[in-house]
Structure 1
Amino acid sequence: MQDPDTTIETREEVMFFDTDIGGVVHNIAYLRMIETARTRLAAKLGMRLRDMAQTQLYPVVVRTEIDYRKPATLGDELIISGRLESVERVRFWVAFEIRRAGEETVLITCRQSLALVQMPAGKPVRLPEDWAEKYASLFLKKR
């Protein structure tokens, strides 16, 4: 079972602005929903928005993998589940699934790799030292 401190669940209702003329959710809307879930997951991992603004240290997406399996449509209530998937020395992976509320069928799967970047220099930095211990079961040692 996944640690509740490394998981998040959010809900979104599909609005007109999320869809195309046929009432089907377009790809950028899914990414916005994932962005919301990822931001809330980051807060649970100790990276709150106000803290980031003060320290200028941000988790930056460096890779996104997304599979569109089935479409969501106008008015659907979607559940976005996210989790910390793995941790390395300088990056970490998060994973998301989007389902229609009350259904088990997965509509969207997504994985993202993130790195901590110190702004304004844009310099990547190592993940916090305590992450190796805190998330030991998810820590991937360099091969």
Structure 2
Amino acid sequence: MFFDTDCGGVVHNLAYLRFIEIARTLLAEQLGLALSDMAATQKYPVVVRTEIDYHRAAKLGDLLTIEGWLDHLERVRFWCAFRIVRDTDDALIAECRQTLALIQMPSAKLLRLPDSWDRYRAAAVDAH
């Protein structure tokens, strides 16, 4: 989108965070973590840390693919990882890793990941 770029047609670094936010929401749905369930239980994953390595610049008009996966789980934290690739030449544009935690709203109390998340551990081990 034009608003994602500077006057030279290069994608702003902050635009990648928005792209990753969308990809993380889709990943949650793929893992069976429906947004409607989060809203009903008031239990939400929150981003604690984001690391991004920028490899190449994406430009206005580039078609990008964002691949996301569950990377690692612990008792109260989990990690998601992402790769952004330009479709035309498969160039790696950026890589991202995010640390997340589960909280109970409205108190923002940190929660241990539920036992039901054990089914995701295999997916995290098998991930890239």
TM norm structure 2: 0.91
Match of 1:50 in 2: 36
Distance 1:34 1:85 in 2: 14
1:25 paired with 2:28, answer no
Match of 1:84 in 2: 70
Aligned 1:112-123 pairs, distance under 5 A: 112-123=98-109
Return closer, same or farther for 1:78/1:134 CA change in 2, 3 Å cut-off.
closer
Match of 2:58 in 1: 72
Return closer, same or farther for 1:43/1:133 CA change in 2, 3 Å cut-off.
closer
Distance 1:133 1:82 in 2: 18
Distance 1:124 1:46 in 2: 21
Structure 1, residues 15-72: CA drift from partner, whole Å, max 9, x if none? 1011011110001111000000000101122321111111111010001000111000
Return closer, same or farther for 1:45/1:99 CA change in 2, 3 Å cut-off.
same
TM norm structure 1: 0.82
Task: Select the residue among 80, 86, 110 that pairs with 1:94.
Answer: 80
Does the CA contact (< 8 Å) of 2:45 and 2:103 recur in 1?
yes
RMSD (Å), alpha carbons = 1.4
Return closer, same or farther for 1:121/1:135 CA change in 2, 3 Å cut-off.
same
Distance 1:128 1:103 in 2: 41
Runs of at least 5 residues in structure 2 that lack an aligned partner in the other structure? none
Match of 1:7 in 2: none
Does the CA contact (< 8 Å) of 2:5 and 2:12 recur in 1?
yes
Deviation at 1:116, TM superposition (A): 0.5
State the one-letter code of the partner of 2:57. Answer: P
Does the CA contact (< 8 Å) of 2:82 and 2:96 recur in 1?
yes
Match of 1:41 in 2: 27
Distance 1:62 1:32 in 2: 16
What is the percentage of aligned positions where both structures have the same residue?
60
* Structure whose residues are more often helix by fraction: 2
Does the CA contact (< 8 Å) of 2:102 and 2:113 recur in 1?
yes
Distance 2:103 2:53 in 1: 27
Distance 1:94 1:102 in 2: 25
